[in-house]
Amino acid sequence: MFWRLKSRPGRSQIPQQIQALIRWIANENPLWGEERIANELLLKLEIRVSPRTVSKYLPRLPRGRPRGDLRWSTFLRLHAQGLIACDFFVAVTATFRLLYVFVVIEHRSRRLVHCNVTAHPSAAWTLQQLRETVGCED
């Protein structure tokens, strides 16, 4: 029985006070993740705890309840009216020439706002395309 207790797998738990501190910090700062909490404990209180250990003692959220942090889908929904995305892709012609296609899409409507093609893209050309898309000189 003695050796069975001595050779239990896993690490011993951290003290109850630190567990309570982790839960308190998580409740006071719902947007903080385990990495941030572990860094705060280390920097301000000099308590060295790994982020994985912190996640072990974080309070569990009920299923179906959204997390406190801002997910990409939430950010996109909130800011879609002001977001555009641009990218280049390569198109190969029948004569095996490479053409670079520049596209700009509006996130709100998922509509193609601007499209242009060039054989030799440059920073100045790209900037001009963005100016034509947005409609400002700066």
CA 34/CA 26 separation, integer angstroms: 9
Tokens of 27: 């409740």
User: Going residue by residue through the chain (138 aa), what tens digit of pLDDT does each one get?
Assistant: 887 777 777 777 889 999 999 999 988 888 888 899 999 999 999 999 999 999 888 877 666 655 555 677 777 778 888 888 999 999 999 999 999 999 999 888 888 989 999 999 999 999 999 898 887 654
Tokens of 119: 């054989």
68 contacts: CB under 8 Å, gap ≥ 6 = 30, 31
User: Which segments within the chain are labelled E, that is strand?
Assistant: 84-92, 98-106, 111-118
Residue 89 has what pLDDT? 94
User: Which segments within 12-110 are labelled E, that is strand?
Assistant: 84-92, 98-106
pTM of the model as a whole = 0.47
CA distances to 14, 21, 81, 114, 119 from 133, rounded to whole Å, are: 56, 51, 15, 6, 20
